[in-house]
Structures are given as structure tokens and as C-alpha cells.
Amino acid sequence: MSTRTRLIELLASGEFRSGQWLGMQLSISRAAVWKHIRALTNTGMEVHAVRGRGYRLAQPIQPLNGELIRQSMSKQAASRLQRFDVLQVTDSTSDYLKRLDHISDSHTQAQVCIAELQSAGRGRRGRRWVSPYGSNLYLSFSTRVSGARLASGGLSLAVAVAVLQALQHCGVPDLGLKWPNDIYFQGRKLAGILLDLSGESGGPYQVIAGVGINLRMPESAAKEIDQPWADLSQSGVKIDRNVLAGTIVENLFNALDLFNEHGLESFTREWQRHDLVSGHAVELQHEQQPVISGVARGIDAHGALLVERDGVTQGYHVGEVSLRLAQ
């Protein structure tokens, strides 16, 4: 374990720790402690320094722990992890998995990357995903999916349902789904999902599902978000970060198994139960094209968003458009 990682663990409770005490625990000088503290603040962590009291984090964090994450999963799910990396910092957990030389051998195995901080987190359509250190959950899951099933559509929606159910399992109430794969808490965005696909026509595809969930967004980072957002601290439910990560990985294994076997059909009812936009006026935007206005009418068997305009209902697919509720 690096000195910096150990320092974060010593500060994780949010209580003040003197420079002298930290130096003794780390076997370094007080000046070296200060240098490491400054490096932490450069990653976006909020560290308070008070003369005579020492240092503390602006808010407590629960460090990621690979062993605890594994323990929160069933033995069967844990045995299917071909690779499982828990990182302090990476540009993007999905890009990290893309760079691996070896991809998953089959749909029964997966590679997973979880990080404390993303320096270049990505959302849909090239948007930035704000990813401060230790505050949220940034997880990517890579596996193979049948090309025929992918062609049938709806994988993005199935993954969203799996993540929503993991949050429900951990006790989070008042959740909803916004097409194609955003998860909302009390009407504001809590989590997002980004799928990256690669493969040849007719064969299996490598799918990387990137999941970002706001757990406790620092005020400084929140200023960078340009839409209504929520985090799990607002739910009143105490969430164990490592248990949530393990639950999501297990749910993704189960969801991808179902999707490979039955396609979107296995997830349609759950989607309909939590659909936030069906029956509401919506606006669709496709690049530089005029805005399409209509009323959302749910999804079709392939996961396309159904929109009614002037009495005619048409389906729009993931990747074609971005969706917002009409003002």
C-alpha cells in the first residue's frame, strides 16, 4: 500500500489528525505529510488544515476495498471474475478495460475495474462525468454478449434495470428510470450508464458497461454539474460503498446472463414500473436537426423510445437522439 493511500485511510473518518501523529503512523516527517496533503488537494479532495489541530477531510469517505467487495458477492459471481482491479486513480474505468491486452473469453466471465477517482470520466454523447476522489462509485464491467442479442436491441436498458435493482437491494427508495439508461432519485439524476461496444458483425461483441453513481458529491465538484442531480446522502439511507459495488457486479452478471438468453423481454416489466417519461411531453434532439416534440409512450420490444406526434407513434433508438422532458 502506498504512503498516500495509507494517509487517506488515516483521514477517512473525517476527524482531525495532527501532522505529528500522521507522520508517526506513516514513518515520514511532518513536511512530507504536508506534501502528501497538498497532492491530495490537487486531486480534488477537500482537506481542512487548522493550526493546532491538524488535518481532516471535509467529509468522511469509505475507501474501496477489493476484498470486502468480493465478500459482498456470492462465491459463484466472484469465481466468474477473470480480472478485478481496484484503482486509486485512472482516466476512465472503461478506457482502462479497453487498454487491456486480453479480453473476456466468454459471456460467463467478466473483467471489472473500480476507481476512487477518474480524471477523464465520460458520459453519453461525449459529456464529462464529474468524478471526484472517494465520493462516488465509478465502475466498469466488461464481458461478451451475443451479436444476435445485441442486434435485437435493449442492452442499455437492461443494464440500467440491473443497477436500479442493486440500489433497491441496498435500501434506496424513490428511484426511477429515464430512457435510455439514467437512474433518478426523486426526480434528479443519481446515476448514469455508458456502453462501449466492439466486435465483428455476426460474432460475439465485447461490451463494457460503465456505471457512475453519486454517493456524496462534494460542494466544489457539484458546481461543475450542469443539470439537476442527486446523491445517495440525500436518501437518508446509509450505504456501504463496497457492498454496493459488489451488489452491482453480481447484478450485472445476472442481467447479462438473462439478456444473452432472452433479450430485453426479461427486463421490460421492471422498466415499465420505473419509467419516468412515459405519458409526459418530451423533446428529442439529434445533432443539428430540429427538435422533435411529442408525448412519450413507453418502449417497444427492442428498447426504442416510442413518441407520439400528431396521432402517429414512432420509435427512436439509443444513439440516435438525446431526450429531455419538455418545459
Helix or strand or coil: residue 315? strand
Say yes or no: 215 and 76 in one domain. Answer: yes
- Given 273, 294, 313, the domain boundary residue is 273
CATH code of the domain in which 86 resides: 3.30.930.10
CATH code of the domain in which 298 resides: 2.30.30.100
Spell out, as residue ranges, where the chain has pLDDT lower than 70: 1, 101-105, 123-129, 202, 218, 220-224, 226, 320, 327
Say yes or no: 238 and 92 in one domain. Answer: yes
Say yes or no: 284 and 231 in one domain. Answer: no
Say yes or no: 220 and 147 in one domain. Answer: yes
C-alpha cell at 19: 501532522
Q: Phi and psi (nearest 5°) for 71?
A: -65, -25
pLDDT for 246: 97
C-alpha cell at 31: 513536511
Say yes or no: 167 and 30 in one domain. Answer: no
Domain count, the chain: 3
- Given 258, 273, 288, the domain boundary residue is 273
Helix or strand or coil: residue 65? coil
Say yes or no: 78 and 11 in one domain. Answer: no
Say yes or no: 133 and 251 in one domain. Answer: yes
Say yes or no: 263 and 129 in one domain. Answer: yes
- The DSSP letter of residue 129 is -
d(CA 135, CA 37): 17
Say yes or no: 292 and 211 in one domain. Answer: no
Burial degree of 22 (CB within 10 A; 0-12, 13-18, 19+) = buried
Tens-digit pLDDT profile for residues 197-223: 887 776 778 899 999 999 887 676 666
Say yes or no: 209 and 284 in one domain. Answer: no
Catalytic residues: 124, 189, 324
Tens-digit pLDDT profile for residues 273-327: 999 999 999 999 877 778 889 999 999 999 999 999 999 999 998 776 788 887 6
What pTM did the predictor assign?
0.89
Name the residue range of residue 251's domain. 66-273
Say yes or no: 186 and 95 in one domain. Answer: yes
Helix (H) or strand (E) holding 212: strand 205-213
Say yes or no: 27 and 96 in one domain. Answer: no
pLDDT for 160: 96
